[in-house]
Amino acid sequence: MVTEFGAPLSINELPLPTPGPGQALVKLDTSGVCHTDLHAAHGDWPVKPSPPFVPGHEGYGTVVEVGPGVTEIAVGDKVGNAWLWSACGHCEYCRTGWETLCERQSNGGYSVNGSFGTYMLVDERFAARIPEACDPVEVAPILCAGVTVYKGLKVADTKPGQWMVISGIGGLGHVAVQYAKAMGMRVAAVDIDDKLDLARELGAEVTVNAATTSDVAAAIQEQTGGAHGVLVTAVHPQAFGQAIGMARRGGTIVFVGLPPGDFPAPIFDVVLKGLTIRGSIVGTRQDMVEALDFYARGLIKPTVATTRLEDIKRRLPADGGGQDRGTDRHRLSVSARSPRGERNEDYRWPASVGVSGSFRGRLWSARG
């Protein structure tokens, strides 16, 4: 868990919460790992979480207890948590289908304890219902990486048969290639050679090596005639400026990567080419249903590496390297196991986070 920003990752025993009204307690099988978890651990975003807390927002498991008033999920159901842990449901954004923009939202593993443990709480309104026969290791990344790129592709408004560039073929990008293909788009991929091999395996028709190509945007223009849509999953600021040059007239560029800093934009080109530039943050509950359906129908298969909970310190280094920093081409899933390799039957949360209820049992959580 995160005890202080930038500190070494730690494994702690914490009290187990009783689910409150509208909540359920979930026994975890796996949790995906997102680059956002590194930002949470380092506290390097403008809005910071408050240590101590349990990170993780790609958790998959089984409901073992429900709180008062819960009617939509039951004990035994397979569910997941997500970055959008809850939203107010009453503001303009929630009323108009943009709950991801709610200013009173709670975020899994950030403002609410997350899935890097053996149990977690979920809000029944926002818990993702997991289809039958899903692989626990594969489905976990869909809860963030999957829904994030799926929503980005939706808002790009690119039609079947049109060109979509995926810039960055890492943990998000390799899933984006598959969603774009499943949605009928023609895919061009931009990254370096080893990741482009994967992109080609997944169906990308055009690949451009950003490390060896002198003008990446010109290469995309030459081979596609200009992209109708560009989805930037990369975390290098240079990719954001390049994306504008890849688009054809009337094209849409969607940013889902979150590097620090700014990027220069050629205003003349944006105006004269009628380009749309927009950001996209995760997805709504309906987006989650749709993203999971693509996976359940066998159209999406994340490339996943697995690790045990006690090894998470090695996989999430203190310097912030690793996943989606240009070194990994897969997502990481964590098995909910104790340091001795056994399943823990109970889970403890830090009372200081504000979770109420009785305290009992044991937990192994990881973070720092």
* For the chain, domain boundaries: 10-130+303-367, 146-279
Domain 10-130+303-367 and domain 146-279, same fold? Reply is no
Cα 113–Cα 118–Cα 124 angle in degrees, nearest 5 = 55
Rounded Cα distance, 208 and 192, in Å: 8
Cα 97–Cα 46–Cα 334 angle in degrees, nearest 5 = 75
Is the CB of residue 265 less than 8 Å from the CB of residue 244? yes
Q: Can you say whether the dihedral through the CA atoms of 244, 199, 56, 38 is positive or negative?
A: negative
The reported pTM is: 0.88
Domain 146-279 matching CATH 3.40.50.720: the answer reads: yes
* Average of per-residue pLDDT across 141-167: 98
* Average of per-residue pLDDT across 75-103: 98
Whose tokens are 């990719």? That residue is 239
Radius of gyration of the chain (CA): 20
Could you tell me how many residues make up the chain?
A: 368
Confidence band of 330 (pLDDT split at 50, 70, 90): low
Average per-residue pLDDT in the chain?
87
Where is 62: in which H helix or E strand?
strand 59-66
CA nearest neighbour of 334 among 355, 297, 305:
305
CA nearest neighbour of 303 among 192, 194, 196, 170:
170
Rounded Cα distance, 327 and 343, in Å: 31
Confidence band of 347 (pLDDT split at 50, 70, 90): very low
Q: What confidence score (pLDDT) does residue 338 get? A: 44
* Average of per-residue pLDDT across 35-40: 89
DSSP state of 304: E
Q: Which two tokens stand for residue 45?
A: 């975003």
Whose tokens are 């989606």? That residue is 324
Q: Which of 3-12, 24-33, 310-319 has the lowest mean pLDDT?
A: 310-319
Q: Which residue type occupies 223?
A: Q
Q: What confidence score (pLDDT) does residue 313 get? A: 66
Residue 229, CA atoms < 13 Å, CB-side half-sphere: 28
Is the CB of residue 57 less than 8 Å from the CB of residue 115? yes
For strand 186-191 and strand 206-209, is the pairing parallel, antiparallel, or unpaired?
Answer: parallel
Q: Is the pLDDT of residue 355 over 90?
A: no
| End-to-end Cα separation, the chain, in angstroms | 5
* Average of per-residue pLDDT across 238-264: 94
Q: Is the pLDDT of residue 33 over 60?
A: yes
Per DSSP, the three-state class of 139 is: helix
Select the CATH number that applies to the domain covering 10-130+303-367 from these four: 3.40.50.300, 3.20.20.80, 3.20.20.70, 3.90.180.10.
Answer: 3.90.180.10
Per DSSP, the three-state class of 295 is: helix
Confidence band of 360 (pLDDT split at 50, 70, 90): very low
